[in-house]
């Protein structure tokens, strides 16, 4: 059976158009680095890439939460260390004031120094991380403690924002994994029920100032509860309580670092999964490009002969 010129030309045209489509596809894959452009092209690979991409998006949010939490933890620890250093200074002043060689004037001068440090302390307990209060529990926009002052303006104690100061703040760092990133002012400085008592940091420092300023003599009837030695013992217990919370913050910081390392490693694996699912194999594409280009060139040369032959036959 003879093949007509029309059929031959149609076959030729179809073949060369297919080669052009193949070349364009290969060039697109090379340009984008992708071999998959629509889920319908390979449902299994598309589903694999989509699942990995969703996991990668979740990890990205977890990593943001970790960075925010780590910043909070580090800031809290830094400020608590400043509080501990301040309490060490106050303790040293109190020890010196308890020395029998100190005069009443010396002790009054020491009381003034302690009063100044109490003012500094009030600032530290109301420290912020960015625009949020560190030790206010869930009340991050309101100062956790307000100074209670006498008629001379000296701090006697502090009033806590009781509605929020004991609240806990969490950050989600994994599926179902929430980490508490804060230590509350209630835990640290004025535990519930201790206001105006030995567990209250502000009361203890204020009472120590007043006892020392009164020539190291407690008020009548409170010789034991307001003595220099007793108040220093309470100060040491409070300092230990704060240091314990610093240890907790350190463990939280370590946990956040470890979780970040794990997520970062997982993200590398997820990115590789996406690349394998939809990424282009450049070596294979270069080889296919050469094959398709060769086939196209051969068809083009054949087309010239076919067209040339048909024209000669027509002229005859």
Superfamily, domain 70-258: f41 fragment of flagellin, N-terminal domain (1.20.1330.10)
Query: Quick check: 287 pLDDT over 90?
Result: no
At 180-192, the pLDDT tens digits run 999 999 999 998 8
CB atoms under 10 Å from CB of 89, counted, come to 14
CB atoms under 10 Å from CB of 30, counted, come to 15
Q: What is the mean pLDDT of residues 225-236?
A: 96
Which pLDDT band, with edges at 50, 70 and 90, does 14 fall under? confident
The Cα–Cα gap between 141 and 210 comes to 33
Q: What is the mean pLDDT of residues 106-115?
A: 97
Identify whether the C-beta of residue 225 lies closer than 8 Å to the C-beta of residue 218: yes
- The residue that leads in pLDDT, 267 or 83, is 83
Sequence-separated (6 or more) residues with CB below 8 Å from residue 291: none
How high is the mean pLDDT of the chain? 85
Which pLDDT band, with edges at 50, 70 and 90, does 144 fall under? very high
Which pLDDT band, with edges at 50, 70 and 90, does 98 fall under? very high
Which pLDDT band, with edges at 50, 70 and 90, does 281 fall under? low
Identify whether the C-beta of residue 195 lies closer than 8 Å to the C-beta of residue 160: yes
Between CA 254 and CA 263, with CA 257 as vertex, the angle to 5 degrees is: 140
Which pLDDT band, with edges at 50, 70 and 90, does 178 fall under? very high
pTM of the model: 0.75
- The residue that leads in pLDDT, 80 or 56, is 80
β-strands 145-149, 128-129 pairing: unpaired
Q: Is the dihedral of CA 183, 184, 189, 192 positive or negative?
A: negative
Identify whether the C-beta of residue 306 lies closer than 8 Å to the C-beta of residue 12: yes
At 238-256, the pLDDT tens digits run 999 999 999 999 999 999 9
Instruction: Please report the pLDDT score of residue 275 as a whole number.
Output: 73
Domain map (residue ranges) of the chain: 70-258, 285-316
- Scanning 33-150, the segments in alpha helix (DSSP H) are 43-97, 104-125
């Amino acid at each position: 059976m003879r093949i007509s010129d029309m059929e031959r030309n149609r076959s030729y045209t179809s073949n060369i158009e297919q080669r052009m489509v193949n070349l364009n596809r290969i060039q697109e894959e090379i340009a984008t680095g992708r071999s998959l452009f629509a889920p319908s092209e390979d449902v299994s690979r598309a589903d694999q890439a989509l699942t990995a991409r969703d996991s990668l998006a979740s990890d990205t949010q977890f990593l943001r939460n970790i960075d925010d939490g780590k910043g909070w933890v580090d800031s809290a620890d830094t400020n608590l260390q400043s509080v501990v250093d301040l309490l060490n200074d106050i303790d040293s002043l109190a020890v010196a004031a308890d020395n029998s060689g100190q005069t009443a004037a010396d002790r009054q001068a020491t009381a003034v120094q302690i009063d100044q440090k109490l003012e500094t302390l009030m600032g530290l307990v109301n420290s912020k991380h960015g625009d949020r209060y560190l030790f206010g529990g869930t009340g991050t926009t309101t100062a956790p403690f307000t100074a209670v002052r006498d008629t001379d303006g000296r701090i006697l104690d502090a009033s806590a924002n009781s509605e929020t100061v004991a609240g806990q703040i969490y950050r989600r760092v994994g599926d179902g994994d929430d980490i508490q990133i804060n230590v509350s002012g209630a835990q640290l400085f004025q535990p519930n029920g201790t206001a105006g008592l030995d567990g209250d940091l502000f009361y203890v420092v204020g009472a120590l100032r007043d006892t020392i300023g009164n020539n190291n003599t407690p008020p009548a009837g409170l010789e034991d509860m307001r003595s220099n030695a007793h108040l220093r013992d309470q100060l040491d217990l409070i300092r230990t309580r704060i240091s314990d919370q610093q240890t907790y913050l350190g463990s939280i910081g370590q946990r956040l670092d470890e979780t970040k390392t794990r997520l970062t490693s997982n993200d590398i694996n997820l990115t590789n999964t996406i690349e394998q699912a939809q990424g282009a194999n450049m070596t294979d594409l270069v080889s296919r490009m050469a094959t398709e280009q060769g086939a196209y060139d051969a068809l083009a040369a054949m087309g010239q002969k076919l067209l040339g032959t048909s024209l000669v036959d027509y002229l005859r």
